[in-house]
Amino acid sequence: MPDYCMIYTGDWRQGVRREGIIDLGPGYPDPALLPSGLLADAATAVLTRHAAEALSYGANTGPRQLRAFLAEQVPGCPPEQVVTTAGTSSALSGVAAELGRRGAVVLTESLTYDLGRQIFVDRGLRVEAVPGPVDDLDIDRLRRFLAGRREPVAFYVMPTFHNPTGRVLGVERRTELLELAARTGMTIVEDHAYSRLSFDQVPAPLWSLSDDREKVITLLSLSKCLAPGLRLGGVVGSTELLDRLARDGERASGGGANHLTAATVAHAVATGAVARHVEDLVGELRRRRDALYSALAGRLPPGLTITRPTGGYFQWIGLPTVAYEAMLLAAAENLGVSFAPGSRFGSGHPGVRLCFAAHRPDDLIFAAERLVRAAEQIG
């Protein structure tokens, strides 16, 4: 009889765990946080009661119950204004194709999600970073970047729990950004991959605050609040954009994104299981945030800065120079700890991105102590 456990070897997961290293670099959740039981129960129920529907091609826009759940993140957004996607990466690819048809240039913040930027570049778009502070947007600098441009422009931004810094833009800055878009015709692409994971109240997405929602595209994800392997998310945008996405040949040929998975999650949403899981997850992430932040705050050498995250996955530490960044990484790895260097995400703001979602509080405290020791060794 074959050993079916032997199937799960080698190339099933992205990334390789390094022995002897507590790696706070990758933005992955701890496997202990993944709702395997919830999804197993939902999949069993769907395949028992609705197998014919779940195993067929799904509706091009995705299950309505799932679209309603995604729409909850965007006040004022009806389920009809959401199209499901195979995660944020797939949504970015689709948006990039749309922007490419317009001949648009994509602007980003000086620090931004590096793989999001790569998707735009890989789709043939010109991407330019706008210099600005690490914890805010420089609207005047962005205005100067836009002055005199003839080609269409899109601005890719993570207003809530920014990757890598964890920053949250305030309502005033969001309003200024929308006003600038209204005056210049700029399209805003806002990535809300982490916005469900809030420890405190945060401002509404730009789409909800806008008077001209035709100019805002909002990306939503289930990877961070459920599981990355689901490859599910959604996009909110103009009726024209959503119609084009829903009628795209890929969907006409194969239906909505990851239909069996989408049907499974939609069932779990309908039972209330997903809402309960997200509530528990936020509590656990807050506990891990507290462990890491408390172990670092007040212990780092002068010149290293830290702020307390209010949600998401990441703790950011500001460093004095890029050279210091490289020295700290080498010293930390010698002590059994690693991290994502800030230069991976752009220039002008050397730093450290630490993912507190990936490890238990005791491991986070241990890693923080080693990181402090590495910084002290550098002097």
Question: Average pLDDT for residues 90-101, to the nearest whole number?
Answer: 92
pLDDT tens-digit map of 342-354: 999 999 999 999 9
144: pLDDT strictly greater than 50:
yes
Split at pLDDT 50, 70, 90, the class of 379 is: confident
pLDDT tens-digit map of 315-338: 999 999 999 999 999 999 999 999
Question: Average pLDDT for residues 170-188, to the nearest whole number?
Answer: 96
User: Cα dihedral sign for 117, 118, 122, 123?
Assistant: negative
Q: Which residue has the tokens 């059994």?
A: 336
pLDDT of res. 1: 43
pLDDT tens-digit map of 261-310: 999 999 999 999 999 999 999 999 999 999 999 999 999 999 999 999 99
Backbone angles phi and psi of 7, in degrees to 5: -65, -35
102 to each of 85, 158, 207, how far by Cα in Å?
Answer: 21, 22, 21
Domains of the chain and CATH, by start: 4-33+275-378 (3.90.1150.10), 40-271 (3.40.640.10)
pLDDT of res. 225: 96
